[in-house]
Each structure stands twice: as C-alpha cells, then as structure tokens.
Amino acid sequence: MTERGEDWQSSWAEGARRQVAAAAIGPRTRVVGRVEEIGDGIAMISGLPGARLDELLAFSDGRFGFAQVLEEDRVGCVLLDDIAGIEAGDIVSGTGDVVRVPVGEGLLGRVVDPLGRPLDGKGPIAADTHKPIERAAPAIVERAAVTRPVQTGILVLDTLFALGRGQRELIIGDRATGKSTVAIDAIISQKASDIISVYVAIGQKSASVRRAIDAIRKHGVPERTIIVVASPSDAPGLQWIAPFAGVTIAEYFRDRGQHALVVLDDLSKHAATHREIALLTRQSPGREAYPGDVFYLHARLLERAAMLSDEMGGGSLTALPVAETDAGNLSAYIPTNLISITDGQIVLDIRLFNEGQKPAVDVGTSVSRVGGKTQAHALREAAETMRLDYAQFLELEMFTRFGGLTDQRVKARLARGARIRAILSQRPYHPFRLVEEVALVTAVQAGLTDGLPAERLGELRGAVATGIDRAAPEAVRQIEADGTLDEAGRTALRGALSAMIAQIAADTERAAAP
C-alpha cells in the first residue's frame, strides 16, 4: 500500500472514531399509550401519564387528536379526523405540541377546513406560519376604546345599533330568520373598507355554506375573505376547533395593525358539539346536559376580539357570533350565556320575518352597548331621534288595532313610523354605502317623504343609489372623506332628495291618471 493510501485510511479511521464517540449510544425511552376504547370521534387512551390538556396526540397511522379530558389512568382524546381504521390496541404517542392552524395572506380568497387544509381545489396553502388555536386574549392595558365604526351596509343596524371595530355583537334569532344573511351582508359591505373578513361555518348544511360562498364571491370581495368550513359530517373534534381556528386566522391580521371581522356561524351548534364531546368523555353534565365549562368555552373565545392600542399596533378584531333560539326563547342557557359575554345583540323576530320585514330586526330587544360612539357623525345627526320615533310608532300601532284613532297628531306619527319601517326594509346582499344611509334617513326624518306613499319608498332607495353622487356631489365628498356633513352639505342633500321625491310623486300621478 502506498504512503498516500495509508494516510487516507488513517484519516478515514480517525473520522469514524470521532463519529462513534459523538453518537448517543445507550437505551432510549419512548412513552406510548394504547387505545382502550374508540367510537363517535372519541378515543380513551391509557399509558400516557405525562399528557397535558389540549396536547396534540399522534396515532400510529398518522392521524391526530387532542387531549380533552385527563383522568388518573386514562386520557380522553378527541379525534380531528374520521375514526375509520383506528382500533383498540393501536399505539398513541404525545407530540408535546398543541393544535395549530396556518395563518397568513396565503389564506385570502381560500376555502379551508379548521386545520387549514384546502377545500376549494386551488392547491396547497402558502402559510406564513402556524399559530395555536388557543391563545390568550389581549390584556386590558393592551386595548383601546372602541370608537371606529364597522359599516355593515344594513340600514337598521348602522342607524339604530352601531357596530364598532373591536366589538362583539351577537346575532340571535329562531331558525330561518335571516341570521346568516345579516352576517354575510356585513362581510359583503367590507368591499369598500380596509377590513379583512373571516367566515366560519360550524355544522352548517352544505347547501347553506354554498349559498354563503356564492354570495360573497358574487357581491363581495372574495380576495379579502377567508372561509373556514366544518360540515356536520366532519369529526366532532374538527367542528369543535373551528371557531378557535377562525379567530386565530383573523388575529394574524389584527396583530399586524390591520382590521379583521370574524363571523362565527353558529355558536349554538358549537355548544351542542361541546356537549356531545363532554358526554362521550363522561364529564359531569349540568344544566341542559351541558358541562360546567360551557360558559368559559365561549367567553375565552370571544374575549379575543379587541381594538388594540397604538402601542400594540392599533389593529382590531370584530366578532359577529351567531346563535339560534327555540321559539324566540332568549332566556335559554346558551343564549343567555352569549348575551352576557357580548357587547350587545341583534335579535331577529320570526313574526317580523313572516310579515315581510327584512332584515327582521326586533328594535325593542336589540341593543348595542357601544352605541352611537362609533357612528359616523353625519349618520348620527340624521338619525338622532329615529329609534325613539320608531319605538313610539310600534307601540301606537299595537293600540290602534283595538279601534280607530281620530287625533291628527297620532295619525301623523303613525304615517311617519310606517315610512321608517319601509325605509328600513332591505334586499339581501345589497348593502348601502354610508352616503346612501345618510340620505335615506334624512329623507324620512326631515319629513321629505311625508307626501309619498310608503309603498313607493323602494323607488327612492333605487333613485338614491343611482343618482345621489350626481345630484349632491359635495355632500357625497364630505361624507366619504370623514363621515361629517356641514350645513351647506345638508342643504344640498335635502335639495337633491326633494327633487328625487318630487319626480317619484310625479311618476306616481302619471301612472294613476286614466
């Protein structure tokens, strides 16, 4: 052997000795558990004494679940996928991590499941990072006052129950009263704002989810909307994490100083899923068979909605949770919990819906605890007495059902109230701009529509939408600039509205002429 070959062999041997010396030689321990029971999306696991609450657990076939219940000798694991193929005796190991969801601008315009897996057939998600679905809510010192508006484009809400950035406003009502439509209208209206929307469908029928997606794509700005879907056929664990995943996705934008709106549709079904999981894991049932922590479940979720201070970036996260009542019973367990957690509620009434008043908002029981502090100044001035006038009209209308009234003042108030009700009616998926809302409210409250039949007010809505920019350009410019309107602008706006109403009245007379 040559000298060069001997040197190479010596060098190789020395390198091998260093690798052997550095190798971790010795026994290795791996804690694994085994599935004892499996069924209905729940696995009871033994042999994992060190498992932590909410820890992500890995099954031998690559599927995952999270630890929901920790008993002395067993762990109650909620699966995130179908249980088919998992059997008693299968090996389970802890990961030391929690459930995370992809976040980032790569999700904009996409439809995903609560784990961030694409459902729209557009390829994989380009995520910036992954965040835990459970995160602490911002502290009090990290928050700022809720003073900036969220324009929903729904006249009855923006006028009477203003919504602010960072607020939590509950949408509640019986089945099929338009709750989802109100929430989707709020998302569609953000096409004229800088707010990014996240719509979370929890246990909704596929047809309902499809209608929501189609409405957002047709009328809204889908490229600034993220849709998270957990269908009724998905595993209970996937439905359970859906609202938490949606809020985490929205928080990514809030924490960057942007503004986000998250719709949780709906939390009644989420509470039912929580109850199902609790009963299957043998937790003690309480009122209506819900476990004792159901209040904390939604409180820790909705507390994450906030308006951050300037020091924290000034971003905001606004939450619109949806809840369903049975026969209008607002005093049921889940509705009362959610009402006490949120900053107000929009109550939809089945009677109003059946009478054709849409959105079917019950003005008497709805409330926004933030109130007019977030309203645009021009709209607040125009609608200053509108809620009181409408409430008095509803009370007078109820009394007039028992007999006629001859007092002219009462008749005038009833006529004005009927026009308020007519102007508050609105087609779904056609939100108003702020300037249109100011114009319509001004027309009614200033008495400009008193000579116009209430059934012709629909024509006024159309005329305002198509002609207000041309008829009162300076007023439109002021309102769009900062939400205010000076005296000259108000005069110009009233003049333009008077001309529109006169034209509608003239058309009505010509149509009635023989």
Name the least confident of 144-148, 237-241, 301-305, 385-389: 385-389
Query: Mean per-residue pLDDT for 268-283?
Result: 93
- Arithmetic mean of pLDDT over the chain: 89
> Over 80: is that where the pLDDT of 390 sits?
yes
Query: Mean per-residue pLDDT for 358-382?
Result: 88
Query: Mean per-residue pLDDT for 167-195?
Result: 94
Write out pLDDT tens, residues 160-169.
998 999 999 9
pLDDT for the residue 24: 66
- Could you tell me the two tokens for 365? 């029981």
Closest alpha carbon to 335 in 420, 290, 402, 268: 268
Query: Mean per-residue pLDDT for 73-82?
Result: 91
Sequence-distant (≥ 6) Cβ neighbours of residue 474 within 8 angstroms:
488, 489, 492
- Confidence category of residue 455, pLDDT binned at 50, 70, 90: confident
Report the share of the chain in percent with pLDDT over 70.
Answer: 94
Domain 32-98 has CATH 2.40.30.20: yes
- Could you tell me the two tokens for 504? 């509608």
Query: Mean per-residue pLDDT for 441-461?
Result: 87
Sequence-distant (≥ 6) Cβ neighbours of residue 340 within 8 angstroms:
none
* CA angle (72 as vertex; 66, 76 as ends), nearest 5: 25
DSSP string, 364-395: TT-EESSGGGGS-HHHHHHTTTHHHHHHHHHH
Q: What are phi and psi of 230, to 5 degrees?
A: -125, 105
pLDDT for the residue 25: 64
Using CA atoms in the order 106, 108, 113, 115, what is the torsion angle rounded to 10 degrees? 40
What are the angstrom distances between the C-alpha of 269 and each of 15, 204, 229, 239?
63, 8, 13, 9
Sequence-distant (≥ 6) Cβ neighbours of residue 501 within 8 angstroms:
443, 448, 449, 451, 452, 460
Q: Cis peptide leading into 82, omega within 30 of 0? A: no
- Residue that wins the pLDDT comparison between 511 and 142: 142
> Over 90: is that where the pLDDT of 29 sits?
no
Dump strand ranges (E) for 353-505: 367-368
- Confidence category of residue 372, pLDDT binned at 50, 70, 90: confident
Rg of the chain over CA atoms, in angstroms?
29
Annotated catalytic residues are 369
pLDDT for the residue 133: 95
The residue written with tokens 């005296």 in the block is 487
Task: Report the C-alpha gap between 206 and 372 in whole angstroms.
Answer: 37
pLDDT for the residue 513: 65
Q: What are phi and psi of 411, to 5 degrees?
A: -65, -40
Mode of pairing for the β-strands spanning 316-324 and 111-112: unpaired
Instruction: Parse the chain into domains and list their residue ranges.
Output: 32-98, 101-375, 381-512
* CA angle (169 as vertex; 168, 172 as ends), nearest 5: 135
> Over 90: is that where the pLDDT of 58 sits?
yes
Using CA atoms in the order 127, 130, 135, 139, what is the torsion angle rounded to 10 degrees? -60
Neighbours of 117 (CB within 10 A): 12
As separate numbers, helices (DSSP H) first and strands (DSSP E) second, the chain gives: 16, 17
CATH pick for 101-375 out of 3.20.20.70, 1.10.3720.10, 3.40.50.970, 3.40.50.300: 3.40.50.300
- Confidence category of residue 8, pLDDT binned at 50, 70, 90: low
- Confidence category of residue 7, pLDDT binned at 50, 70, 90: low
DSSP string, 19-63: HHHHS--S-----EEEEEEEETTEEEEES-TT--TTEEEEETTS-
> Over 90: is that where the pLDDT of 394 sits?
no
pLDDT for the residue 2: 57
Task: Report the C-alpha gap between 212 and 198 in whole angstroms.
Answer: 12
Neighbours of 300 (CB within 10 A): 16
- Confidence category of residue 131, pLDDT binned at 50, 70, 90: very high
> In this structure, which topology does domain 381-512 adopt according to CATH?
Lysin (1.20.150)
Neighbours of 54 (CB within 10 A): 16
Predicted structure pTM score: 0.90
**Does residue 353 contact residue 360 with C-beta atoms inside 8 Å?**
yes
pLDDT for the residue 393: 87
Buried b (16+ CB within 10 A) or exposed e, 252-288: bbbbeebbbbbbbbbbbbbbbbbbbbbbbbebeeeee
Write out pLDDT tens, residues 395-449.
888 877 766 666 788 888 888 888 899 899 999 999 999 999 999 999 999 888 8
